[in-house]
Structure 1
Amino acid sequence: MQQTTTPDPSLELIGLVQRLSLARSLAEIQSIVRSGARRLTGADGATFVLRDGDKCFYADEDAIEPLWKGQRFPLGQCISGWAMNNRRSVAIEDIYVDDRIPHAAYRPTFVKSLAMVPIRTLEPVGAIGNYWAHQRQPSDHELDLLQALADSTAVAIENVQVYDQLDAARTETLQCLARAAEYRDGATHEHTERVAGLAAQLATELGWTAERVELLRLAAPLHDIGKLAVADAVLLKAGKLTDEEFDQVKEHAEAGASILSGTHSDVLQMGREIARTHHEWWDGSGYPHGLRGADIPDAGRIVALADVYDALTSPRPYKDAWTHEQARDEIVRLRGRHFDPAVVDAFLRLRP
C-alpha cells in the first residue's frame, strides 16, 4: 500500500511550526496538524485528539480510510488517553499484542501499528496519533518529530485562546460603547438588543447558517457606534436639523466603520460592514456612499430593516411609538425603495 512520504522531515516540521504560529483558530490548527503529522512519518493515517473532561475526543483525521472522527472514548480505554495520562509518547508495532489497545475499536480499521504523542506534557490537552496499515516499529526520531509538532501545537492552542480572549474583551468593550452611543441618542440599551434579535431572526428566515446568524447577532449592536463621534448639540437637538447638521449626523456611518477597522475578528469585521452600510437604501438614495441593490452587503440590508422597525415602534422624546401594524405598513411601502424586497418578505413571514 502506497504511503505518504516526505523527502526531508525536518524541513516539513519547520514549515508546520511556521504555519501553526500564524493559526488563529482551533479548526485551522487541526487542519494543519492532521495532514502534517501524517506527512512527517509517511503514515497511512493521523488523528488529532482533544481531551474533553474524562474523554478523548477524536476531533479530526487524515487517513486512507475512516478512523474515529467525531467519536469520544473514555481516557482509560484508548491509547490517546494513555499518552495523556502518562504524559509521554508511545510506539506500538503490533497493536493486537498490546493490552493498552481497545482491540474491538481497531478491528474495523486498517491500523496495524501506531505512534501516539501527548499535546503538552505538563497537563496534556490532547494527543496526535499516527497509524500504519502494516506492522512497523516507529523510530525514536519519528517520535521526536511528532512530539516537536505536538509541542508547537500546544503553543498554537494557547495563542488561539489568548487571541479569543482579547477579541472577546474588545468586542465587549465596543458593545458597551455602542450602548453608550444609544444612550446619547435618547434610546436605551434595549434598542441594540432588539435590533440584534430581529436581525438574527431575519437572517435565519433568509437561510443563513447558524454560525453566521450568531455572528450577525453579535455584530448588529455595533451599527450606530459612530454616533459617539457626533456632537451633542447636533445629536441631542430637539428641533429639526439643518442640512448641515444632518450632514454631520450622516458622518456617523463612516465614523463607526473607522472605529471598528483594523481587526481580524469576524464579529468586528461584520460590525464594520454594518456600521458603514445600514443607512444605504435599496434604490441607491441612502448614505454614505449611495450604494444600490445587491451592492449593499446583506448584513447591512438586514440591519437596516431591523433598525428602522425598532425605531418606529419605540417611543422617543420627539414621537410616540408606532404600532406594529403602522410600522409594517411603512416597511411594505418602502419595499424596493429603502429595503431589499427579500428582507421585507422575510420580515412579513416572521411578523405578518
Structure 2
Amino acid sequence: MDKVGIGIIGCGNISGAYLKAMTSAFPILDIRGLADLNREIAEAKAAEFNLPVKKIDELLADPKVEIIVNLTVPKAHVAVALQALDAGKNTYSEKPLGINFAEGKKLADTARAKGLRIGAAPDTFLGGGHQTARTLIDQGVIGIPVGGTATFMCPGHERWHPNPGFYYEVGGGPMLDMGPYYITDLVNLLGPVSKVAGFATTPRSERLITSEPRNGERIPVHVPTHVAGVMAFANGAVVQIGMSFDIAGHKHVPLEVYGTEGTLIVPDPNHFGGDVSYLKKGGQFEEQPLTQPYADGNYRSIGIADMAYAIRNNRPHRANGDLALHVLEVMEAFHTASTEGRTIDITTATERPAPLSASLMDGKLAN
C-alpha cells in the first residue's frame, strides 16, 4: 500500500510521543517534515528523530503531503487546521478540536464543503484496553447500560509541564484538556450524549509554577479548574463526571460503566492498555484478558494511521471530525450549564466509531 505523506506543524512537548509511534509502529506514514514557529524547537525535534525541518508554507505546498498533523497549542488548532484545508490537505489535530464549539463547527463545515477529512485526538480509545471493554459491552455482558463514573482529579499541570500557562488560558482547564479522553471513550463505549448538566468553579485566580525552568513564577487562571457534571446518553445511560486541577488526591478509578447485569472497570483513557475488570451481578471483580490489539504501548498517532489507511481504502476514519465536534460540544455544555443554571441539549450527532479488533497493518490480531 502506498504511504501517506505527513506534515507536522507544532513541535512542543506532546510531539515526541507522536513521533515515536509514527516512526516505529505505523509504516504507512511518510513524515515529510516538521515545522514550528520556533525553528530551534523544530530543529531539535527533527534531529532527535532524523527528520527534515521545513517551513510551514513548504509543508502546505508539498504535493506529497496528504495529512497535516496539527500539534500546536489549543488556541491555534482551528486557525492552523483551516490553513491546511485551504491548501487542500486533510488535517488531524491534537485535542481539543477547538477552544469552543462555534470555531470547531466552522472547521467541520469547511472540511465538509471542501471534501476533505478532519480528525482529532484523542485516539487512545482505539487501544486494546478500551476496545476490549467495548467488545464486552457489545456482547451484552453488563446487560442494559445504566450509568457510570468518569474521574480525573489532580493538583494541576504546573507541577511538571515546562510551560504550563496555556492550561489555564481559554481552551485549557481540566475539562478541555483531559475531558476529551474520558468523553471520547464513553462515546466509544456507550454512544452519543444527549443532555448535560453541571457546575464549574475557579477556586484560585492564579497558580504557582513548581516545574523547571519557570519554577516560582505565578500565572493567571482564565478558565474553570474544577468541573462536576452529569451526562445523559442517547441510549439511556447516565454518567457522572468530575474533572479537576484542584484536588490533592482521590481514590476513584478513572472509568466505571454500570449495567443491569454487571460492572466494568475501564482503563485510564489517557493510555492504550491497562486492566479491564468485570463484576457479574452477585459475583466479584475479575480481570479480563485483553483481546484486542494496541494494548502494549503508547500508540499516540494511531488515529492518524487509521486516517491514512482510510484514505487508501476509501472508508471512514475512526477519530473523525464528527466525533471530535460532538465531544467539544459536550465539554462546552458543562460550562454553559453552570453559567446559565440549566440542562443543555446536545445538538450534534455522531456514530460510535467502528470497533478496532485487528491490526491496522496486517489485519490480524496483535500478539
With the shorter chain as reference, the TM-score category is under 0.3
Q: Max radius of gyration: which structure?
A: 1
